Structure 1
Amino acid sequence: MQERFRTKIAHFQHVEKMSEKLFKVASTLSIPILATEQNPEALGKTVDSLAKYLASQEGTTTTTVAPRIHAKTQFSMLTPEIRSALLAHGPSGTIQVALLGIETHICVLQTSLSLLREGFQVHVVADAVSSCNTQERALALQSIRDEGGNITTSESLIFRILADAKDPRAKEVFSIVKEYSSSTKDALQALCPA
């Protein structure tokens, strides 16, 4: 999520907040985070609130990836560097990828389709993705679902990953979820209306 898009993307502030929540949980659970920037020379850098989580990921198993943010010009984020980083964790059929970010109908859609074609399991976080036009977002999410991707929410994904309240990290995860409860409600109302 690049700063230049802040005023162009519908509900940018909600996507940013849910992304921050997911990055905090990923850090707590030692889950690697990979990010790309679309043509950063022209479109700018990742927003500060998220970039701080990408600067250092101590404790994660993604020691093969440096830097954490990769520049790209193609719309899919499945660049050779990202593919290598993902495959360092095993064969594509065993790897689950959660996607969040902006331009759902372009970058998120093309990344999802690229990953699905290569056998990765894809989870798109509905309250952490958006586009300039909300109608295009909805159609893109449906296309991803039609192709075999899972559409989920940030909280559902968090508890799916955590799996058991007895996990020693559960208390910290619960605290993060609670910290973002109001923001989550706002994001769901804006991005996932009933």
Structure 2
Amino acid sequence: MGLLDVNRSIVVVIDLQGKLMDMIYRPNLVIASTIRLMKLADIFKVPVIITEQYPKGLGKTHPEVLSVYEGLTTEKMHMEKDSFGCCGDEQFYSLLQSARPDVALEEQQVVIAGIEAHICVMQTVVELIQRGVETHLCWECISGRGEEYRHHALQRMQREGASITNHESVGFEWARDKNHSCFKEMNRLFREGQITQ
């Protein structure tokens, strides 16, 4: 697995929803980092897919995250699901393909944020890897109900073949060079202040 390619990448934000967000480890870090990740996707015109697990019962996407998602100018898609892993719904593969119609599924690079690390995120990641899709996990954008759930889930996903990264690394890999047309805008985003944990 190599560096991220801006022309093959897709950002997937998994189930950052109402009731769950009140219970996870370091919710403020997850929210702020995911918002930055989506803003980076917007700067670089990387498609964003956002999912919701049974929103009737668990609630809608966190309002701050939803507000940024709705304001994106890059291609964006939304999926409600009953299956825990996104791949349990065949619609998800269709969304990935329509997000990058010129890139075969096995050539795509999926950058992931979401909860819960040990359930919906892990099932999605393991199945994507089984289908040959590169998965890159932004550790600060992923959480669950407790530090140990998150920690061991990240370890397992890494053993399965996922790459552990962060939103800043993602942005710099998409740019590759300070002369990239999006670099200055990315730099301004990073200068907006430190994300508190």
**Superposition TM-score, scaled by structure 1 size:** 0.86
Query: One-letter code of the match for 2:36?
Result: K
Aligned to 1:85: 95
CA distance in 2, matches of 1:56, 1:83: 24
Match of 2:125 in 1: 112
- Aligned equivalents of 1:75, 1:59: Cα separation in 2: 26
Q: Is the 8 A contact 1:54 1:69 kept in 2?
A: no
Q: Which residue of 1 aligns with 2:169?
A: 156
Residue 182 to residue 57, structure 1, CA distance change in 2 (3 Å): closer
Amino acid at match of 1:72: K
The equivalences for 1:1-80 within 5 A come to 1-55=16-70, 57-60=72-75, 68-78=77-87, 79-80=89-90
Asked whether the equivalents of residues 37 and 72 of structure 1 are also in contact (C-alpha less than 8 Å), the reply is yes
The residue type equivalent to 2:86 in the other structure is: M
Equivalent residues of 2:41, 2:74 under 8 A apart:
no
Provide the secondary structure at the position in 2 that maps to 1:182: coil
Q: For each residue in 1:130-177, what CA deviation from the matched residue of structure 2 results, as whole angstroms up to 9, or x when unmatched? A: 110210111111111111110111111111122111111110001111
Which amino acid letter does the alignment assign opposite residue 81 of structure 1?
Q
**What is the total number of aligned residue pairs between the two structures?**
178
Q: 2:82 is matched by which residue type in structure 1?
A: T
The TM-score, its normalising length taken from structure 2, stands at 0.85
* 1:57 Cα offset (Å): 4.1
The residue identity in structure 1 corresponding to 2:194 is S
Q: Which residue of 1 aligns with 2:194?
A: 182
1:131 is paired with a residue whose SS is coil
| 1:22-49 CA-partner distances (Å, limit 9, x unpaired) | 1111111111100110100000100121
Letter in 2 for 1:37: E
For structure 1, the 5+ residue unaligned runs are 63-67, 188-194
Structure 1 94/167 Cα, relative in aligned 2: closer, same or farther at 3 Å? same
| TM superposition shift of 1:54 | 2.9
Distance in structure 2 (CA, Å) of the matches to 1:54 and 1:101: 14
- Runs of 4+ with >4 A deviation: none
Report the 3-state secondary structure (helix = DSSP H, G, I; strand = E; otherwise coil) of the residue aligned with 1:34: strand
Query: Where does structure 2 lack aligned partners over 5 or more consecutive residues?
Result: 1-15
Q: Tell me, in whole angstroms, the C-alpha distance in 2 between the residues paired with 1:6 and 1:137.
A: 14
Percent of aligned pairs sharing the same letter? 28
Counterpart Cα distance in 1 of 2:74 and 2:114: 24
Alignment RMSD, CA only?
Answer: 1.4
1:102: how far off? 1.4
Aligned in 2, Cα 1:59/1:19: closer, same or farther, shift over 3 Å?
Answer: closer
Q: Which residue of 2 aligns with 1:192?
A: none
